[in-house]
Amino acid sequence: MTVALALAKKAKEQGEVPVGAVLVKDNLKISEGWNQPISLCDPTGHAEIIALRAGALALKNYRLIDTTLYVTLEPCMMCVGAMIHSRIARIVYGAADSKVGAFSHGLFHEGLFNHRMAVSQGPLAEEASQLLKTFFASKRN
């Protein structure tokens, strides 16, 4: 999660919403991503999607079996859908997202899909939340 938080700061430096993601398999980093929808002119340029795409290329397989995705912000439904299709085993997120977070809003539960994915809010939640708060506060001023 520390690496994901550093990637979120990189996104912030680029004027993007500060979210970072790291895909791990067997305790090794497979790929990473940070929010880039503005710079890529791509509405799907979320940190999670970028990390999943890079992970699939690195593993030469669109199925990311037995992987864990660490992300600094609770994923939206689009990103959760990509995680389900990629068959990741586990998602660990930092800050909760009360506006569009798929887990906070009950948009995801295992009974809806033929895929089991462990979900937990993990370490550095407060740091990730504070980074987002200061980013949005600076945009309002």
Q: What's the CA dihedral at 66, 21, 77, 73 to 10 degrees?
A: 120
Assigned token pair, 86:
């990629």
Catalytic: which of 13, 48, 110, 126?
48
Residue 16 falls in the annotated catalytic set: no
C-alpha to C-alpha distance for 114 and 119, rounded to whole angstroms: 15
Strands 28-34 and 67-73: unpaired
List active site positions: 48
